[in-house]
Structure 1
Amino acid sequence: MTSAAVSPLTVVVGDEELLVDRAVAEIVAMARAEDPEVDVHDLLPSQVGPGKLAEVTSPSLFGERRVVILRSVHDLTKDLAGEVTGYLKDPADDVVLVLVHAGGAKGKALLEAAVKAGAARVTCAKPTKATERLQFVKGEFSRAGRQITADAAQALLDAVGNDLRELAAACTQLVADTEGRVDVKAVARYHTGRAEASGFTVADRAVEGRLSDALEQLRWSLSVGTAPVLINSALAGAVRGLAVVAQPPRGVNDAELAKRAKVPPWKLKTLRQQARGWTPQGVARALEVVAETDALIKGAGRDPAYALERAVIGIATARAQR
């Protein structure tokens, strides 16, 4: 997105959530640069019922500009996709429409209709090659006005892994904690061991019932200095997320579910996959485990590492509870 003026119609295509979120945020920022009072509507398919598009794109009494973001348009029903296609034939003058599509064959007709209507296209494909991931790391430092040596970028990739959000967070932290050009020594100082062994990875493996993996990640996480309280916080967050999505109340949309689970909307898919196989009794027991562990870590016990091992075993075991 290099143009100074925001396009009235943009398709953001790709399956890498971080890049998609950045592309959408940049469009919104460009619109706000032109009009600070611009009204933004960011909608998931579950929020786009019949007539919703007409509602958010209809002429305003006060003439304010609007940005309408339709996420995951490949998941729209046939009728709603037809409604969007119809809008493309006669778009509103004061509306910036952003269609987010994962790519692929699903919903391709709508994507093609948008391109035919003159949409600007932003591609957000997931980096699959090592050279692409290296370029991403270097780009993160360039965005911050900094440089990283080629061997340091490779060392950071080796330490953190391939998840773009984790890589971006690691780059941001290095920018904040260092000065000048970042070299291998700086990476080694802040990223000893495997950064995949974060509290969140421990939590994911535990709620998935992958006990041996969870214990291995826990030991690595502790060995590289992750605070026990942060690991248990990640465990608690993962279990709370399960509790929210395992038996969602009727009529609650994805945006509200994400808010209750305290996760970004894109993570609901992961939570739902993790919730498979869990029973209400198992979730209740897992919640008890993290509460007990919290007390042990914060003074009721003598060995936080042992308390966390018990917690991981307890959560993984609770998954099978009937």
Structure 2
Amino acid sequence: MANAAPVTLIVGDEEFLADRAVRAVVAAVRAEDPGAEVHDLQGGKVEPGELTGLTSPSLFGDRSIIVIRAAQDLPKDVVAEVVKYTARPADEAVLVLAHPGGVKGKALVDGVKKAGADVVTVAKPAKGERLDFIKAEVRGEGRTISPAAAQALLEAVGSDLRELSAACGQLAFDTQGKNIDEAAVARYYRGRAEVSGFTIADLAVEGRLGDALEQVRWALATGVAPVLIVSALAGGLRSLAKVGGAPRNLRGGQLASHVGMPPWKIDRVRRQLGGWGPEGISAALQAVAVADEQVKGGGADPGYALEKAVHTIVASRTAR
């Protein structure tokens, strides 16, 4: 996206693609003005006059990016304000509206379209289109993927676009050569249709020991590489540390920028933080570091190393 439009309407119920579209607009603005401030708002909490205040010229001439998610929940008087603003947007502000589609909030969609907003559609891809998504993600990493490998990846990882995107990125990083073939997919992602490392990580940080151990055993039995499970465990704990250690005064886009996560992930991590303290997170990360060394050849039994790490993570959860 070379230049961001004054007002962009993102329509569709695919959350991953909607969030990516929002980030693309923010990146386009910050490419021109790195100091642009992001105001990340939820539709149901936007008050009358708030948009006018946020889009008013700054004394310092800084640009503002106002992101309104769940725009279908905007109150009627705010909808009228947004539509009026879209017809004559401010020079030093960029407005992004995210709407899932559907009947609710249709007046907003129709109004801002008529007023001249740019429209980005992010509908959930059909099964066949998911293969195109995989190919596009791999191309974005400077690689190619064979049709058979793309199909194998879809069958192994499942239809969730976030996981597919992460899988494409990891394959591109960890494999050699221009083209990713079916053997590479089998080596890294066989069995992930049944369970993923991300699932195990969520269960562990939420303190669900029995479920987490069951999924570890099933993952190993279906061919998931132990290193992928360790990586997911470490990622889950690092997310806890980032969000838990962020300054209390940061909100919305500022917090997302500070911790390097999209808002949907921050909300999930916040829910998972209950029962966790800094000492517990530190102890859990140390246990995962030990497991990482063992599954990479430092230990005789990767399964035992993983189970021990999960036990320690769950036990560390109450270390406040």
Taking the aligned partners of 2:284 and 2:135, their CA distance within structure 1 comes to 39
2:156 to 159, 170, 181: 159
Verify the 8 A CA contact 1:228 1:297 in the aligned structure 2.
Answer: no
1:22-50 superposed Cα distances (whole Å, 9 cap, x missing partner): 323333454466xx237534322258566
Taking the aligned partners of 2:309 and 2:213, their CA distance within structure 1 comes to 10
Taking the aligned partners of 2:236 and 2:34, their CA distance within structure 1 comes to 39
**Is the partner of 1:45 in helix, strand or coil?**
strand
Q: CA deviation at 1:259?
A: 7.8
**Is the partner of 1:25 in helix, strand or coil?**
helix
What is the 5 A alignment of 1:157-236?
A: 157-176=154-173, 177-194=175-192, 197-207=195-205, 213-219=211-217, 220=219, 224-226=225-227, 230=231, 232-234=233-235, 236=237
Taking the aligned partners of 2:277 and 2:206, their CA distance within structure 1 comes to 12
**Is the partner of 1:226 in helix, strand or coil?**
helix
1:154-189 superposed Cα distances (whole Å, 9 cap, x missing partner): 011122222212212222333343323332233234
Q: CA deviation at 1:130?
A: 1.8
The residue type paired with residue 167 of structure 1 is: L
1:43 to 36, 39, 43: 39
The residue type paired with residue 136 of structure 1 is: F
1:47-75 superposed Cα distances (whole Å, 9 cap, x missing partner): 85664422332235566655433333234
Q: CA deviation at 1:153?
A: 0.6
Q: Which moved more, 1:169-178 or 1:73-82?
A: 73-82
| Corresponding residue number in structure 2 for 1:131 | 128
> Quick one: structure 1 residues 201 and 262, their matched pair in 2 at CA, closer, same or farther if it must change by over 3 Å?
farther
Taking the aligned partners of 1:138 and 1:158, their CA distance within structure 2 comes to 14
Verify the 8 A CA contact 2:7 2:117 in the aligned structure 1.
Answer: yes
> Quick one: structure 1 residues 296 and 118, their matched pair in 2 at CA, closer, same or farther if it must change by over 3 Å?
closer
Verify the 8 A CA contact 1:39 1:67 in the aligned structure 2.
Answer: no
Verify the 8 A CA contact 2:39 2:67 in the aligned structure 1.
Answer: yes
Segments of 5+ residues of structure 2 without an aligned counterpart are 294-298
Taking the aligned partners of 1:209 and 1:58, their CA distance within structure 2 comes to 47
> Quick one: structure 1 residues 319 and 111, their matched pair in 2 at CA, closer, same or farther if it must change by over 3 Å?
farther
Verify the 8 A CA contact 1:293 1:308 in the aligned structure 2.
Answer: no
Q: CA deviation at 1:120?
A: 1.6
TM-score computed with the length of structure 2 as normaliser: 0.71
Taking the aligned partners of 1:260 and 1:32, their CA distance within structure 2 comes to 15
The residue type paired with residue 164 of structure 1 is: L
Q: Does 1:290 align with 2:284?
A: yes
Cα RMSD of the aligned pairs, angstroms, is 4.5
The residue type paired with residue 83 of structure 2 is: T
| Corresponding residue number in structure 2 for 1:23 | 21
> Quick one: structure 1 residues 262 and 201, their matched pair in 2 at CA, closer, same or farther if it must change by over 3 Å?
farther
Taking the aligned partners of 1:59 and 1:241, their CA distance within structure 2 comes to 33
The residue type paired with residue 171 of structure 1 is: C
> Quick one: structure 1 residues 198 and 286, their matched pair in 2 at CA, closer, same or farther if it must change by over 3 Å?
farther
The alignment of Structure 1 onto Structure 2 pairs a total of residues equal to 309
Taking the aligned partners of 1:260 and 1:96, their CA distance within structure 2 comes to 20
**Is the partner of 1:7 in helix, strand or coil?**
coil
> Quick one: structure 1 residues 212 and 43, their matched pair in 2 at CA, closer, same or farther if it must change by over 3 Å?
same
1:297-318 superposed Cα distances (whole Å, 9 cap, x missing partner): 589xx87744643564677799
1:143 to 132, 140, 143: 140
Verify the 8 A CA contact 1:148 1:181 in the aligned structure 2.
Answer: yes
Taking the aligned partners of 1:27 and 1:238, their CA distance within structure 2 comes to 24
| Corresponding residue number in structure 2 for 1:309 | 307
The residue type paired with residue 179 of structure 2 is: R
TM-score computed with the length of structure 1 as normaliser: 0.71
> Quick one: structure 1 residues 131 and 210, their matched pair in 2 at CA, closer, same or farther if it must change by over 3 Å?
farther
Q: Which moved more, 1:38-47 or 1:113-122?
A: 38-47
The residue type paired with residue 164 of structure 2 is: L
> Quick one: structure 1 residues 274 and 62, their matched pair in 2 at CA, closer, same or farther if it must change by over 3 Å?
closer
Taking the aligned partners of 1:165 and 1:93, their CA distance within structure 2 comes to 34
Taking the aligned partners of 1:189 and 1:86, their CA distance within structure 2 comes to 55
The residue type paired with residue 90 of structure 2 is: A
